[in-house]
Amino acid sequence: MQKISDKVINRLTLYHSILTDYLEKNIEYVSSPQIAELLHIDNTQIRKDIALLGYKGKCKVGYKAKDLKLLIEEKLKFKTVKTAFIVGAGNLGMALAKYDNFEAYGFKISALFDNSPLKIGIKLNDKEVFHLNKIPELAKEFNVKIAILTVPRVNAQEVTDFLVKSGIKYIWNFTPCVLNVPKSVQVWHENLIGNFLQFTVNHGVEEN
C-alpha cells in the first residue's frame, strides 16, 4: 500500500474533526474552500489530500460529509483496535485517560499504572489504576503491546527498561527524555517542546 505522509495524516484528522462538527450541526455537504477557510491552508492542498482517498466532490455542492468522514476513517484505520496502557497516572496520564473520543479512533486505553499507593485502585471512565509491577502480567493477559509513557522525567528510562522487559513493543513517549530501547521496540516522541518551538521559530511568534 502507498504510504501516506505524516503531514497528510495530520491534515486528514483535522478534516475529520471538521466533518464531525458539520454532521453534528446536520450540515450534509462541505466544500474544500470551507475547509480551507477554517484551517487557513490552501484549497488545492485539500483537494489533493482528498483525491488521495479516491473521492471526488460534486461541482458546486462539494463533498458529502458523511461519505468523506467514512473514507478518512477507513484510510486511517479507525476500525482497527489499538489497545494501550497509560504508564504514569499523574495529571497528564489522567488527562489522556479521559481524552475525548480516543475510542472513536480505534484507540482503547485498557488500564493505567503508577507506583503511588494513593493512586492505585482509582477508576477513570472504567479504567483502573494498577501498580507498575502488574504490567508484565496484564500485558500478557490482554496482549497489550503499546504503552503511553507519562511518568516524570527522572523515572523515564528506568520505567522504559521495565516496559521493554514486560513485552511492550511500542512506546508513545510524552516525557521530554530520549529513551534508550532495543531495535525491536519503537518509540514515538510526543515532542511537545519541539512542536511548540516549530510554532514560535517558524511561525513568527514575537517576543513578549
* Contacts to a second copy from residues 74-133, by CB under 8 A: 76-77, 80-83, 90-92, 94-96, 98-102, 105-107
The correct pick among 2, 10, 25, 141 for binding a second copy (CB under 8 A) is 10
> Judged by CB under 8 A, which of 54, 117, 126, 183 binds a second copy?
183
Per rule CB under 8 A, is residue 161 in the interface with a second copy?
no
CB 89, CB 113: distance < 8 Å: yes
Maximum CA pair distance of the chain? 61
* Spatial distance between the Cα atoms of 143 and 8, rounded to a whole number of angstroms: 30
Phi and psi at 123, nearest 5°, equal -120, 135
Among 68, 144, 149, 164, binds a second copy (CB under 8 A): 144
CB within 8 A of 11, min separation 6: which ones?
Answer: 39, 41, 45, 46, 49
Name the minimum Å distance from CB 140 to a second copy.
12
Residue 166 C-beta: closest distance to a second copy, Å: 14
Q: How far is the CB of 117 from a second copy (least distance, A)?
A: 20
- Amino acid letter, residue 181: V
Question: Quick one: which segment of 38-46, 48-56, 61-69, 125-133 binds a second copy (CB under 8 A)?
Answer: 38-46
Of 50-58, 60-68, 126-134, 167-175, the window that binds a second copy (rule: CB under 8 A) is 167-175
Contact status: 40 vs a second copy (CB under 8 A) = yes
d(CA 147, CA 145): 7
**Cell 471512565 identifies what position?**
125
What are the grid coordinates assigned to 26, written together? 446536520
